[in-house]
Amino acid sequence: MKVFLSDGSALEVKDGASVYDVACEISMGLARVTILGDVNGEIVDINHKVKENDKINLLKMDAEESLDALRHTAAHIMAQAVKRLYPGTKLAIGPTIDNGFYYDFDSEHVFVEADLVKIEKEIKNIVKEKLDLERFELPRDEALKLMEEMGADYKVELINDLPEGEKISFYKQGEFTDLCRGPHVPNTKLVKAVKLLSVAGAYWRGNENNKMLQRIYATAFPKASLLEMHLKRLEEAKKRDHRKIGKEQELFTIMNEGPGFPFLLPKGTELKNTLLEYWREVHKKADYVEIETPLILNRKLWETSGHWDHYRENMYTLKIDDNDYAIKPMNCPGGMLVYNTKLRSYKDFPIRMGEIGRVHRHELSGALHGLMRVRAFTQDDAHIFMLPSQIKSEIINVVNLVDEVYSTFGFKYHIELSTRPENSMGSDEEWQLAEESLEGALIELGVDYKLNPGDGAFYGPKIDFHLEDCIGRTWQCGTIQLDMQLPQRFDLNYIGEDGNKHKPIVIHRVVYGSIERFIGILIEHFAGRFPAWLAPVQVKFIPVADRHVEFCNEMKKKFEDSKLKVEVDSRSEQVGYKIREAQLEQIPYMIIVGDEELNSDKLAIRSRDNGELGKMTSEEFVEMILKEIETKAMKIQEF
């Protein structure tokens, strides 16, 4: 039979051939390094049987999908090791996650850090045993019987929840068998570097009414050197933790009186305002107007938008005059109402409305994490109302604007295109047009993107921007969502060139996303060493003695007149101590003032990044730093 390779060429293989056999037909060398197959867009094991006209891409270990499969296999090996060491343990689930995997266990034994060393040792034994992973499928009744015989209560529940007709597959390695969709690497010997990281509690299926299980987090790599680099990055991430730096630099705090509701302190507020000033500068240049919509709106609005039916579990609701209201989780519906304040013409388009809007969303307490996952945040929303003919050009404009902003902060990023989810609104034709418009814009821009099927918003597909920080972590921030549903639900209209009413198309988009979260990302990206244009305090005067304080305050006023952010450390402390404190606070510039400076027109300048700069007049220094701020120059502390 004939199959087709990734380069479009045809290959004759025997009937019943596997992905591995296809690789062998090309070369034995390729077969030795093939880990998985991509068959018609589905990632499969190398033992997967191919069919006539299948399109096949052979994946080596350096493919993203192969690393995911290796970690999935590592999760099975870890579960096998736990079962060997603690035979009464019941297995729940063991998925891969970003940069690793975990497995949830129901065990009478309470796992502690010391146990992780024992489990790692047994994992190495299993790897040395070079066990093949064998996939097999069973009918539902036989699958249930097998799991019941094994005492696998959690697996029985999972099987019972599977829809009728769903394939029920298992993987076996040595004496160990687990319910699993796969795919996996072919042999345990490929899992050469595993590290167990931590133990945590986790409710079965994330429901606090279910039993608390024990979750072991871990990671795996095909080489020890890659694992070593990852562990170094984890250590670096601890040093850069925005919660630690935020406390040290007095940027924000989370209080018991408001879990998930961050308090921005004066310096954090200064940082946020700088981000907003830059946002307004960029958007004014791009012809956006700014609006502000109410924080609380009634139930009817949220029913019209679809949020009451599709998103209510994430919303805070309340009663006003015996009527239902909600604190807005999104700014979109308010933007629709603003559009409807007057009848629009096709000549008005595109209309670009930006909003710095405060939103609230109910997050489970276990998911809260500093500024990264909160219940109240500020979203830099914008809604673009346009004609169908303007879709592609407006999407291109937004992508270019996002690129400009991220480049300013020194971020690299990748793009994902997310398509129609299961619980969506709208017709097939509308979704097809929306998805083709987004994809067409990305193709015209010539940018690489990853397809993320089924992960769009309920009202439209979206483009997501995933930032990469200086230690290689990714953060989803910006998004562009194309919407043909809210214009219909809110009865938005414009008078077309033909004199009749028509429905506009809407783009929803954010650049920062959550501004609070973006601040958290910036803290960790820069390791607290903000460039001068972002720093809440740009210059700190350090008087050597009390008699120098008055001069410092005079210079502070002079610098502030030039729009610089300045502090004077007038504490009665040793000058060396005050310099060390300023260094810990990561102040971009320090100016040490002693008797010599009082009797001279020159200042002693110390740069955080470049050390002693020598003597400068105040005018020379102000000119230098203002240029640095204007050009938004930055120096990122590399890992």
CA distance 38 to 424: 28
Q: Are 37 and 54 in contact (CB under 8 A)?
A: no
Task: Map tokens 């989370």 to a residue.
Answer: 254
Report residue 191's pLDDT band, with 50, 70 and 90 as the boundaries. very high
- Using a pLDDT cut of 90, give the percent of the chain over it: 80
Average pLDDT of 582-592?
94
pLDDT tens digit sequence for 63-91: 999 999 999 999 999 999 999 999 999 99
Question: Which entry of 383, 548, 556, 608 is annotated as an active-site residue?
Answer: 383
- 10 Å CB burial of residue 315 (0-12, 13-18, 19+) is middle
Say whether both 405 and 272 belong to one domain: yes
Q: Are 80 and 150 in contact (CB under 8 A)?
A: no
Predicted local confidence at residue 468, as pLDDT: 87
Q: DSSP label at 373?
A: B
CA distance 559 to 254: 33
Predicted local confidence at residue 29, as pLDDT: 92
CATH code, domain carrying 49:
3.10.20.30
Question: Which entry of 379, 481, 485, 538 is annotated as an active-site residue?
Answer: 379
Phi and psi at 191, nearest 5°, equal: -90, 85
Query: Residue 456: CA atoms inside 13 Å, Cβ hemisphere, count?
Result: 29
Predicted local confidence at residue 638, as pLDDT: 60
Say whether both 296 and 340 belong to one domain: yes
412-418 vs 449-452, strand pairing mode: parallel
Given a cut of 90, is residue 51 above it in pLDDT?
yes
Token pair in block for residue 435: 């998805």
Question: Which entry of 332, 470, 477, 552 is annotated as an active-site residue?
Answer: 332
User: Coil, strand or helix: which one is 103?
Assistant: strand
Among the three residues 473, 502, 526, which one is the final residue of a domain in this structure? 526
Does some domain include residue 159?
Answer: yes
Predicted local confidence at residue 19, as pLDDT: 95
The average confidence (pLDDT) of the chain is: 93
Q: Which residue has the higher pLDDT, 337 or 366?
A: 337
- 10 Å CB burial of residue 224 (0-12, 13-18, 19+) is exposed
176-179 vs 169-173, strand pairing mode: antiparallel
Tell if the pTM clears 0.95, that is, is over it.
no
Among the three residues 60, 89, 107, which one is the final residue of a domain in this structure? 60
589-593 vs 539-543, strand pairing mode: parallel
Predicted local confidence at residue 35, as pLDDT: 94
Question: Which entry of 272, 508, 509, 540 is annotated as an active-site residue?
Answer: 508
User: Coil, strand or helix: which one is 168?
Assistant: coil
Does some domain include residue 206?
Answer: yes
Token pair in block for residue 473: 């972590």
Q: Most distant CA pair in the chain: distance in Å?
A: 93
Q: What angle do CA 58, 227, 229 make, to 5 degrees?
A: 110
Average pLDDT of 542-569?
95
Strand partners, 592: 542, 604
Question: Which entry of 307, 328, 361, 608 is annotated as an active-site residue?
Answer: 361
CA distance 278 to 280: 5
Predicted local confidence at residue 208, as pLDDT: 82
Identity of residue 58: L
Say whether both 476 and 559 belong to one domain: no
Say whether both 80 and 224 belong to one domain: yes
Question: Which entry of 381, 464, 469, 483 is annotated as an active-site residue?
Answer: 381
Among the three residues 203, 238, 273, which one is the final residue of a domain in this structure? 238
Say whether both 432 and 310 belong to one domain: yes
- Residue 548 annotated to the active site: no
Helices and strands counted in the chain (H then E): 20, 34
| DSSP H/E element including 296 | strand 296-298
CA distance 533 to 375: 29
Question: Which entry of 155, 352, 375, 462 is annotated as an active-site residue?
Answer: 462
- Residue 517 annotated to the active site: no
Say whether both 382 and 481 belong to one domain: yes
Does some domain include residue 534?
Answer: no
Report residue 486's pLDDT band, with 50, 70 and 90 as the boundaries. confident
CATH code, domain carrying 575:
3.40.50.800
Given a cut of 60, is residue 269 above it in pLDDT?
yes
Given a cut of 80, is residue 377 above it in pLDDT?
yes
Does some domain include residue 509?
Answer: yes
- Residue 223 annotated to the active site: no
Give the count of beta carbons closer than 10 Å to the beta carbon of residue 22.
Answer: 24
- 10 Å CB burial of residue 87 (0-12, 13-18, 19+) is exposed
Q: What angle do CA 47, 49, 51 make, to 5 degrees?
A: 155
CA distance 247 to 23: 55
Say whether both 83 and 54 belong to one domain: no
User: Coil, strand or helix: which one is 595?
Assistant: helix
- Residue 379 annotated to the active site: yes
Strand partners, 381: 355, 510
Average pLDDT of 474-479?
89
- Residue 508 annotated to the active site: yes
CA distance 214 to 93: 11
Predicted local confidence at residue 469, as pLDDT: 83
Token pair in block for residue 33: 């390094």
Predicted local confidence at residue 75, as pLDDT: 98
Report residue 278's pLDDT band, with 50, 70 and 90 as the boundaries. very high
Please count the structural domains in the chain: 4
Does some domain include residue 636?
Answer: no
Q: Which residue has the higher pLDDT, 102 or 432?
A: 102
CA distance 605 to 36: 59
pLDDT tens digit sequence for 429-451: 888 888 888 999 999 999 899 98
pLDDT tens digit sequence for 2-16: 999 988 899 998 999
Identity of residue 583: Q
- Residue 477 annotated to the active site: no
Does some domain include residue 419?
Answer: yes
Say whether both 234 and 251 belong to one domain: no
Predicted local confidence at residue 600, as pLDDT: 85
Does some domain include residue 532?
Answer: no
Report residue 636's pLDDT band, with 50, 70 and 90 as the boundaries. low
Residue 191 structural domain = 65-238
Q: Which of 42-46, 482-486, 546-550 has the lowest mean pLDDT?
A: 482-486
Average pLDDT of 536-542?
97
Say whether both 274 and 384 belong to one domain: yes
Token pair in block for residue 322: 């015996």
Does some domain include residue 513?
Answer: yes
Query: Residue 234: CA atoms inside 13 Å, Cβ hemisphere, count?
Result: 15
pLDDT tens digit sequence for 134-188: 999 999 999 999 999 999 999 999 999 998 888 899 999 999 999 999 999 999 9
CA distance readout (Å), 249 to 238, 242, 323, 476: 16, 10, 44, 25
- Residue 128 annotated to the active site: no
Say whether both 188 and 103 belong to one domain: yes
Candidates 465, 378, 381, 369; CA nearest to 417 is 465
Predicted local confidence at residue 371, as pLDDT: 94
User: Coil, strand or helix: which one is 370?
Assistant: coil
What's the 3-state SS for 234-294? Answer: HHHHHHCCHHHHHHHCCCEECCCCCCCCCEECHHHHHHHHHHHHHHHHHHHHCCCEEECCC
Give the count of beta carbons closer than 10 Å to the beta carbon of residue 431.
Answer: 20
Say whether both 10 and 70 belong to one domain: no
Average pLDDT of 519-544?
95
CATH code, domain carrying 216:
3.30.980.10
Say whether both 260 and 114 belong to one domain: no
Predicted local confidence at residue 639, as pLDDT: 55
